[in-house]
Amino acid sequence: MLTVKDESFYLEDKPFQILSGGMHYFRTVPEHWEDRLLKLKALGLNTVETYIPWNFHEPKKGEFHFSGMADIERFIELAHKLGLYVILRPAPYICAEWEMGGLPSWLLKDKELVMRSSHPNFLGHVEDYFAELLPKFKRHLYQNGGPVIAMQIENEYGAYGNDLAYLDFYREQYEKHELDTFLFTSDGPNFIGQGSLPEVTTTLNFGSRVDEAFDALEELKPGSPKMVAEFWIGWFDYWTGEHTVRSGDDVAAVFKEIMEKNISVNFYMFHGGTNFGFMNGANHYDIYYPTITSYDYDSLLTEGGAITEKYKAVKKVLSEYTEVPADFEEAVSAKEYGTVAVAESVSLFDVLDGISGKVEHITPLSMEDIGQAYGYTLYRTTFKRQGELKFNSDAIRDRGYIYVNGRYITTTYINDTDKVATLDFPEKVNTLEILVENMGRANYGEHLTDPKGLIKNLWLGEQYFFHWEMFKVELDRLPADYQTSQQERFPKFFRGSFDAEEGLDTYVDTEGFTKGNVFINGFNLGRYWNTAGPQQRLYLPGPLLKKENNEIVVLELENTTTDQIQLLAQPKLG
């Protein structure tokens, strides 16, 4: 197994430099795993690293999911078949710009629970999850004939808390489930003092300033083996921001410095992939920054898996220090399918009963408190009051569409500086509806446990309003009937169909639409927000397509000037 001796890593008692690339099985369709792993191996790397997101595998308490894109064992076995070692990061918190950092939202129903701490309520849920997850890995450990050479304890904990008993709990869990493997923690250089354990190897996460980072490690733990667990070679994008690019020459220069010092390294990311569905996270600092659907990350492979100039620059550096394989022969993987009409349409309000679950309560409840993880929640109440009433929208997380008596009035957003608006209620009896979008829970920092939806009762016109209906729209069900439209108000579903070549990717261009989600044959590709950017097209993996009658559904939240979309051969991230 992997060991440490004389400040270096050893495998089978021989010096071993970990040359790893990060790839998330849960951000790539299984049919593409082998292609991405073969490209990782062709670069000259010997290891693949992946996080393991708790919310992907236990979306509801006690309901476990380990098939399809969640088949982590299949991913490990494939890496082994291709001759790669594996590093696992079960956390259970992963950050990774993933929804709530991988923590399941149902944890938020327990108001006493203290997240990422040794609070017994939290540890109890982790133990239940680990009892399902960890035994799966025993047969995949290196000493048992598998490829897994190392596992991480938590993730960047020094940037969140200082409960070292909590970190020690994970080491005990690995022992309990007989996972006798190499363990490590990882943090940025400024946080290793809070996130490290004395007898566990400390690794570093950074994108540059190699000497400065390892000087901090040497000061904390003299004589430690050196590894960059996350060598940040690109960055993620957020809605309303610019597409981030880091040059291949810059990455290659820092990588050369790492190789000169014989430091082990994991490229974050080798292949980024996609935040399908509602699984994008967010960062919440001065304001709220929701991550886009693409997790291209400006990494060594594009979101669609193509080899980049940055990949070639890194391979050139690597070839100066070790023998690298022959270049990978790429085939055409994307196709332009052209224009697709999405002329059938129906308002969300016409099909609400068929695609949602209803909850009633004296006050509005957050998404988490009504058992909803993702998507949209419609809040509705009726009251006898007439005239203009002051309305404070600070209770709406994250984006709210407000309707009075079935008529759209205004939109609020968590980042709006002016939270107070005036609403006109023209009748003696009025119906107020607020459709709230969860745009992604924070994956990092102090807002990790913030709820979504209407998080408290509204103070409207110097009065609280009671008796609310709440409709959970997670979009695991789509409308069946598009002939029932009785009203024109948005959100609206648009539907069309097209034929395709099986296996060939494409990119969905929704120009003319504003904001919403796209579904292919029932699979949620993710969010688009054309007026915010930077992303302008959604990646559609070819394995999701069939030869004939592919159903495409667009849920448009706000407005559209067209009833057609384009399927093009190239991405557009900025």
Distance CA 526, CA 537 (A): 11
Catalytic residue among 49, 97, 230, 437: 230
- Yes or no: say if 513 and 373 are a contact pair by the CB < 8 Å rule: no
Q: What's the CA gap between 220 and 194, in Å, rounded?
A: 11
Q: Is the peptide bond before 198 cis (omega within 30 degrees of 0)?
A: no
The encoded tokens of residue 63 equal: 């309901």
Question: Among 268, 274, 225, 288, which residue's Cα sits nearest to residue 10?
Answer: 225
Phi, psi of 271 (to 5 degrees): -135, 120
* Cα(137)–Cα(480) distance, integer angstroms: 41
For 301, which DSSP code? B
Q: What distance in Å separates the CA atoms of residue 201 and residue 221, rounded to the nearest whole number?
A: 9
Tell me if residue 156 is catalytic: yes
As a whole number of angstroms, the distance between CA 146 and CA 163 comes to 33
- Residue 115, token pair as written in the block: 């997240």
**DSSP codes, 134-175:** GGGGGGGBGGGTSSEEEEESSSSGGGT---HHHHHHHHHHHH
Name residue 68's amino acid.
Answer: G
Cβ(439)–Cβ(407) below 8 Å: no
What's the CA gap between 459 and 280, in Å, rounded? 31
**Alpha helices for 162-209 (secondary structure H):** 164-176, 192-195
Instruction: Quickly count: other Cβ atoms within 10 Å of residue 303's Cβ.
Output: 26
Residues 416 and 435: their CA atoms lie apart, in Å, by 17
C-alpha angle 89-95-100 in degrees, rounded to nearest 5: 120
- The type of residue at 472 is K
230 an active-site residue?
Answer: yes
From 58, 99, 154, 156, active-site residue: 156
Are 291 and 440 in contact by the 8 Å Cβ rule? The answer is yes
Q: Is the dihedral of CA 387, 393, 397, 400 positive or negative?
A: positive
Query: How many CB atoms lie under 10 A from the CB of residue 385?
Result: 14
Query: Cα 370 to chain center, whole Å?
Result: 23
Yes or no: say if 512 and 524 are a contact pair by the CB < 8 Å rule: no
Phi and psi, residue 265, nearest 5°? -150, 145
Point out the residues that are catalytic. Answer: 156, 230
